């Protein structure tokens, strides 16, 4: 079997490919994890048990220099379309966009109509197309996956939701916005997110098997987005795993990544906001260990469900001719959702924050910045930042029945999330769309096919600049070098230059050592920002503060406005009651 499917490019929709041609095309399973750090997978250096993902790695290629956006929606937009996040409409997310940017070009906060999804292209080629799990690219019927190329879709429009119940992230959303095929849908009893998302995908795949057509299944986990939750049995397995603290875990993961050949022996940055584990009280250390135990448990639970899917495809004879892609949407989440008094008051009415119950039903568990530094080890930064810990994540591509993919190989060449759609299309024997699609002008795919890398050849030349920006944090990649800027609190707003091939931990700023390259790459970034209409952030902007402000504006404030007439009536009645009471007391006093 050659690396490329032997089927020809798709014929027009009126003349679908023949059954014999379709049988030669591979199935495609896209497995997207949420908020997993670079070393959260066992085969990338983790202590977390991920045997099923590691099994795919053993059958395929691990990419150790693969990059995404610093937050979920922009990555998801690029993964679905092969187009940069600004051009796809996700210059920012609805949760983090400042009001001044709303509605500006590239800041739609939803997947816009100028891009074509990989599901649309595969469906045009007579693939069955399925979506399960987190979408977060729009919530109106015309913006949901069923309207963007997916035959069947059970999707969450929000950034996250409860993993055990049909509940939203309270304080951020009024309800968990789940739909099936564009229609509001309820979750079943006994629901757990990772299990349900895989169950639904299997149902969809089995439901169309009789057609004989290949399938594309986009499976999008809530794991490990806040709230971090997992079944008790998984949590128990990590009861002692994290009692040594984040610095020990970070150092151990670095060494395992080096031993595995994932990264070179290179310096590791000291994360400035990592707390001193030994300075914590015993109770605080126990609470932190419980939180990270829940995180490890949630990841292992997702891995178990991936294993169920793989076993099912083996049992049905689909495994060998299925391409599996596993990645995370960004680095690990550092946010403390109780970072201000109002949040603590609101969340305290909905969630159990007892550290002993971390990860269980009814809790709002999160790992915070110090554990996020361990999850991103040995890189610098985490989610939201443009440092490597925010943008570099694990990627595995496997096609078990294709002998031209050398099992267990590690690819160290630079790769970007927009490379995946053209790669998957090429593996299916199809071409990406250009600037015209079904008679209308669209954004062409900008990614580069990774086919040569999968075949064991050198990665594509990256001598052309590749720009990125989100919430003011920005990067420009060119060759082995990265220009990067992070706004406070993760940076100081100044540009830095790193050789990320030899210094993936971003420990040695080359801006003064290599001023010509530094200035040239700044010029490249300015050209990118002008072309993609990148807007400067308002003074004092931080993504975390904007999440709080937008949540209050869109969730709390409407509730207050709806309740205002009743509150006014209650105030009037209270005033009236107080006036009557005062009059009665006054008359009694006069009678005396």
Instruction: With respect to residue 587, please indicate whether it lies within any of the assigned structural domains.
Output: no
pLDDT, position 12: 37
Beta bridge partners of 567: none
Count: domains in the chain: 1
User: Is 430 a domain residue?
Assistant: yes
Any domain includes 112: yes
Chain centre to alpha carbon of residue 575:
51
User: pLDDT value at position 584?
Assistant: 67
Strand partners, 156: 134, 178
Is 418 a member of any domain? yes
- The span from the CA of 94 to the CA of 84, in Å, is 17
Residue with tokens 């080890």, as numbered in its chain: 377
Phi-psi region of 138 (alpha: psi -120 to 50; beta: other; left: phi over 0): left
Look at residue 499 and tell me if it is in a domain: no
Question: Dihedral through CA 276, CA 281, CA 284, CA 289, nearest 10?
Answer: 70
- pTM recorded for the entire structure: 0.92
CA atoms within 13 A on the CB side of 68: 37
Structure-token pair, residue 138: 């729009």
470: in domain: no
pLDDT at 9: 38
- Sequence-distant (≥ 6) Cβ neighbours of residue 179 within 8 angstroms: 144, 146, 153, 154, 155, 157, 185
310 close to 55: Cβ distance less than 8 angstroms? yes
Structural domain including 166 reads: 38-82+105-434+444-454
317: left (phi over 0), alpha (psi -120 to 50) or beta: left
CATH of the domain at 365: 3.40.720.10
H or E segment and range at residue 562 = helix 557-591
The three-state secondary structure class of 481 is strand
Q: Is residue 476 part of a domain?
A: no
What is the Cα–Cα distance from 73 to 111, expressed in whole angstroms?
Answer: 9
DSSP state of 418: G
Q: Please report, for residues 400, 451, 454, the alpha-carbon distance to residue 405 in angstroms, rounded to integers and kept in the order given.
A: 8, 10, 6
Q: Which residues are catalytic?
A: 72, 136
Phi then psi for 495, rounded to 5 degrees? -75, 145
Closest by Cα among 459, 479, 455 to 402: 455
The neighbouring-strand residues paired with 28 are: 216, 323
In a domain, 486, yes or no: no
CA 96 and chain centroid, separation: 15
Per-residue pLDDT of the chain (592 residues; tens, 9 = 90+): 456 554 333 333 334 544 444 458 999 999 999 999 999 999 999 999 999 999 999 999 999 999 999 999 999 999 999 999 999 999 999 999 999 999 999 999 999 999 999 999 999 999 999 999 999 999 999 999 999 999 999 999 999 999 999 999 999 999 999 999 999 999 999 999 999 999 999 999 999 999 999 999 999 999 999 999 999 999 999 999 999 999 999 999 999 999 999 999 999 988 888 999 999 999 999 999 999 999 999 999 999 999 999 999 999 999 999 999 999 999 999 999 998 888 999 899 999 999 999 999 999 999 999 999 999 999 999 999 999 999 999 999 999 999 888 899 999 999 999 999 999 999 999 999 889 999 999 999 999 999 999 999 888 778 899 999 999 999 999 999 999 999 999 999 999 999 999 999 999 999 999 999 999 999 999 999 999 999 999 999 988 889 988 987 766 546 555 555 755 666 666 677 666 766 767 676 666 5
């Amino acid at each position: 079997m050659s690396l490329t499917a032997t089927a020809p490019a798709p014929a027009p929709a009126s003349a679908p490919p023949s059954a014999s041609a379709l049988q030669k095309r591979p199935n495609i399973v896209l497995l997207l994890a949420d908020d997993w750090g670079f070393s959260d997978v066992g085969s990338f250096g983790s202590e977390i048990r991920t045997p099923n993902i590691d099994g795919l790695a053993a059958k395929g290629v691990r990419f150790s220099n693969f990059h995404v956006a610093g937050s979920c929606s922009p990555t998801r937009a690029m993964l679905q379309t092969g187009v940069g996040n600004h051009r796809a409409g996700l210059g920012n997310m609805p949760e983090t966009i400042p009001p001044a940017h709303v509605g500006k070009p590239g800041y739609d906060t939803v997947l816009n109509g100028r891009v074509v999804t990989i599901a649309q292209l595969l469906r045009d080629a007579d693939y069955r197309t399925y979506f399960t799990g987190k979408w977060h690219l729009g919530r109106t019927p015309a913006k949901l996956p069923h309207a963007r190329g997916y035959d069947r879709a059970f999707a969450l429009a929000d950034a996250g939701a409860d993993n055990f119940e049909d509940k939203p992230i309270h304080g951020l959303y009024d309800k968990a916005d789940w739909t099936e095929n564009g229609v509001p849908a309820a979750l079943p009893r006994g629901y757990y997110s990772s299990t349900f998302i895989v169950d639904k995908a299997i149902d969809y795949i089995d439901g169309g098997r009789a057609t004989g057509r290949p399938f594309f299944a986009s499976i999008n986990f809530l794991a490990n987005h806040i709230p971090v939750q997992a079944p008790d049995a998984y949590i128990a397995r990590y009861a002692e795993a994290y009692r040594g603290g984040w610095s020990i875990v970070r150092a151990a993961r670095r060494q395992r990544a080096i031993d595995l050949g994932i990264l070179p022996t290179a310096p590791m940055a000291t994360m400035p906001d990592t707390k001193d584990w030994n300075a914590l009280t015993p109770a605080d250390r126990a609470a932190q260990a419980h939180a990270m135990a829940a995180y490890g448990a949630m990841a292992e639970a997702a891995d178990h469900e991936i294993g169920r899917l793989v076993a099912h495809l083996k049992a049905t004879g689909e495994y060998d001719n299925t391409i599996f892609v596993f990645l995370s949407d960004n680095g690990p989440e550092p946010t403390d959702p109780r970072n201000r008094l109002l949040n603590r008051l609101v969340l305290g009415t909905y969630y159990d924050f007892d550290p002993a119950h971390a990860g269980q039903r009814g809790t709002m568990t999160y790992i915070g910045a110090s554990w996020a530094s361990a999850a991103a080890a040995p890189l610098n930064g985490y989610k939201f930042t443009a440092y490597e810990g925010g943008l570099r994540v694990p990627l595995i591509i496997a096609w078990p029945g294709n002998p031209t993919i050398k099992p267990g190989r590690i690819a160290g060449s630079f790769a970007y999330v927009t490379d995946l759609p053209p790669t998957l299309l090429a593996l299916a024997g199809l071409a990406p769309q250009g600037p015209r699609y079904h008679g209308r002008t669209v954004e062409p795919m900008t990614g580069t096919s990774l086919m040569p890398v999968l075949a064991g050849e050198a990665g594509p030349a990256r001598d052309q600049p590749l720009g990125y920006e989100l919430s003011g944090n920005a990067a420009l990649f060119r060759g082995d070098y990265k220009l990067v800027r992070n706004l406070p609190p993760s940076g100081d707003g100044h540009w830095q230059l790193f050789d990320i091939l030899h210094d993936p931990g971003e420990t040695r700023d080359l801006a003064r050592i290599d001023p010509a390259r530094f200035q040239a790459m700044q010029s490249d970034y300015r050209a990118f920002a002008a072309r993609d209409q990148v807007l400067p952030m308002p003074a004092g902007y931080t993504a975390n503060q904007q999440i709080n402000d937008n949540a209050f504006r869109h969730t709390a404030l409407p509730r207050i406005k709806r309740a205002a007439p009743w509150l006014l009536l209650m105030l009037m009645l209270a005033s009236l009651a107080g006036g009557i009471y005062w009059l009665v007391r006054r008359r009694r006093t006069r009678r005396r």
